[in-house]
A and B are shown apart, each in its own frame.
Chain A
Amino acid sequence: MKAVRSIEGRAIPLGLKNVDTDVIIPAHWLKTVSREGLGKGAFESIREAPGNPFDVEDFAGAPILIAGDNFGCGSSREHAAWALLDLGINAVIAPSFSDIFSGNAFKNGILTVVLPQEQVDRLLEVAADHPITIDLESQTVTTPFQDRFAFEVDPFRKHCLLEGLDEIGLTLESGAAIETHEKQRAQALPWLDAPRRRDAA
């Protein structure tokens, strides 16, 4: 994962709530064995409508998306995060996110910034004509108009994002603890090990 410090630029003022993963990337785009190229299918049903915010020239290549409550609800498809990245979106600001989506976003270096609805509304207003800055180090979102909104971020996720750490690599550093757990488990809950298939009784 590449390191993330701050993200600055135009923000697409989508504003919708309950944007589900079928809206972010419809199922027929999931028939791929690659992470690349999903931007073409991103927000397909929204982009069909003329005058949608993704079509506005000012927002071409915008690195930030602003949405409503419960962004990314629905399926666990990481294709939703890959599709955003492929569109050039590296951060999403919303009042709330689904649990699985925010995990998937984090693992792809996409910031999910949770702010109260009033602050999101203010940013939607500013974003129409002006850029926005998200600074991970100081955990703030700022605008050219002195708006300064603080956001919370899990300290472990922040550390991983700032350093660009590989989570599997980190876990493998705890290899000894995993082995110990496996030995204890084999004693205490032996039926969970090596499930053997046999003909049904």
Chain B
Amino acid sequence: MASKPRTLYEKIWDAHVVERRDDGTCILYIDRHLVHEVTSPQAFESLRLAGRKVRRPDLTLAVPDHNLPTTPRLDASGNKLPIADPQSAAQLAALEANAPAFGIDYIDSAAPEQGIVHVVGPEQGFSLPGATIVCGDSHTASHGGIGALAFGIGTSEVEHVLATQTLQLRQSRSMEVRVEGELGPGVTPKDLILHIIGKIGTAGGTGHVIEYRGPVFERMSVEGRLTVCNMSIEAGARAGLIAPDETVFAYLEGRPYAPQGEEWDRALAWWKTLHTDQGAAFDTSVVIDAAAVEPTVSWGTSPEDVVAVGDVVPAPESFSDPSKQSAARKSLDYMGLEPGQRIEDIAIENIFIGSCTNSRIEDLRAAAEVLKGRTKAPGVRWAIAVPGSGLVKRQAEEEGLDRIFTAAGFEWREPGCSACLAMNPDKVPPGERCASTSNRNFVGRQGPGARTHLVSPAMAAAAAVTGHLTDVRKLASCQAVDA
């Protein structure tokens, strides 16, 4: 029987439709629900008030990440240290109490498996190809890197999923981002996604689910794919996807929550069908030339404000859209930059290596490769490396990466969201700059008045050792930074 060719997105969507209404709204089944402490307390409270239960606690996993300090969590005798901020403490306590009260698996703040929810999901094998995955966090798009349909939801939807294990949704439009050719040496997945956002804009993917296609992704590690899909939301898309392949299957095999034995074989057989059929149509297509991607840096306060590191700060008049011109003026004023200033002349006082975008083992390896045998420049006041999970941290320590970071003058921290959004004590001071491997350079994102330059881990490390934004390719011994 000849069936209509479908995109990967359509295949996963179709497999999860519970009910389709005449107007196109669907009840979509949710396979995996990740819960953290910031966007869940009001949802649990509403369930309690309505006398509702969690329909499928077995498909739900809770882990604290946003509020946790990244300083040591236990005292010398192994007791948990108190959280100084009473509001953070209350939010963390709410999750710790709600999870067992509703029968949900909870990863404790002091457990070795604790980490950023989007690092933990794939690492634990809780996130799987072809699954629908949601979390009250827009960077849920990350999990598309293993071929899942994963997207962020608000707290009302968190409550809806807890109560019904479904969501009421309309299918998004499909967008293909086809990357042709190969990335140059020293150019990483982070540079690629920043470049893509620069090309299509922060609203370019609105109303769409993006599938990233092309030979670059076939050769990319799982970590790199998670980085690319993570920032789909910065391009306005609700989700980003990369077709799962042997690289993903090898990554998942043996993970704690992954299927095993006969179930693994059945899963694998289905996962191998999860690719866009020949002849399937996308609503929108964008082609990107990989060879044109340079190590990329943000200069403004929107993730679309990016240039190649060898470039200069653009003049507001260089944009054709008048509202973009005025936004660029405001951005430059906030960032304390002048049009025409060379990007490499921008001095940096703070370095943040971490976040759900870039805190996995490959990210830490890429940064350590640059830092090895070097130390941070005198002008760099604060440099922290925050592994994405306790397991990433442990592996990095086994590889000796922690010693490279500390020898270079970095602080080696406990896992969490940290200075990406500065809900915990890790903040960039007002008026100071940070070369950050995170995902958003919004006004005040890393602390009130903080100035963020989004970069790859290798580029953050390069800025650390030179004291200013630097093309990492100019530093010797960086051949191994392409992930």
Q: Which residues of A contact B (CB under 8 A)?
A: 16-18, 20, 22-23, 26-28, 30-35, 44-45, 68-70, 73-79, 81, 96, 98-100, 103-104, 107-108, 154-156, 167-168, 170-172, 174, 177-178, 181-182, 185, 189-201
Contacts and interface: CB of A to CB of B under 8 A. Distances in A.
Interface residues of B, number: 85
A76 B39 contact: yes
A28 B154 contact: no
B164 A171 contact: yes
B255 interface: yes
Contacts of B124: 197
A193 B437 CA distance: 35
Contacts of B152: 75-76, 100
Q: Sort A-B residue pairs by CB-CB distance and give the 8 closest, nearest first.
A: A201-B254, A191-B259, A78-B154, A31-B87, A76-B152, A104-B154, A107-B156, A33-B41
23 contacts: A16-B327, A20-B442, A22-B444, A30-B66, A31-B90, A32-B87, A45-B448, A75-B152, A76-B137, A76-B140, A76-B154, A78-B155, A99-B238, A107-B157, A154-B25, A168-B50, A182-B165, A191-B267, A192-B31, A192-B131, A195-B58, A195-B59, A198-B256
B283 interface: no
Contacts of B85: 31
B27 A31 contact: no
Given A69-B203, A78-B155, A178 B255 contact: no
Given A22-B443, A73-B202, A31 B263 contact: no
A170 B447 CA distance: 41
Interface stretch (B14-22, B183-191, B307-315): B14-22
Given A17-B327, A198-B256, A191 B128 contact: yes
Given A18-B302, A191-B259, 12 more contacts: A17-B323, A18-B202, A31-B423, A76-B39, A76-B152, A99-B172, A99-B236, A100-B152, A108-B156, A154-B25, A155-B23, A174-B27
B160 interface: yes
A20 B444 CA distance: 11
Contact of A185 (B27, B29, B41): B29
B42 A74 contact: no
Contacts of A77: 38-39, 154
A79 B38 CA distance: 10
Interface in B136-160: 136-138, 140, 152-157, 159-160
B27 A197 contact: no
Interface string B238-282: 100000000000000111110110011011001000000000000
A117 to B, nearest CB: 8
A74 B440 contact: yes
Given A34-B42, A195-B257, A198-B256, A100 B154 contact: yes
B206 interface: yes
B171 interface: no
A161 B130 CA distance: 33
B263 A45 contact: no
A190 B154 contact: no
A96 B91 contact: no
B317 interface: no
B27 A27 contact: no
Contacts of B442: 20, 22-23, 74
A150 B182 CA distance: 47
Given A156-B21, A199-B256, A171 B166 contact: yes
A150 B67 CA distance: 44
B338 interface: no
Given A31-B87, A192-B131, A197 B423 contact: no
Contacts of A75: 137-138, 152, 421, 440
Contacts of B238: 99-100
B45 A33 contact: yes
Contacts of B233: 74, 100
B170 A154 contact: yes
Contacts of B255: 200
Contacts of A185: 29
B234 to A, nearest CB: 8
Contacts of A200: 254-256
Contacts of A108: 156
A96 B201 CA distance: 14
B207 interface: yes
A81 B154 CA distance: 10
B25 A177 contact: no
A137 to B, nearest CB: 18
B126 interface: yes
A121 to B, nearest CB: 10
Contacts of B128: 191-192
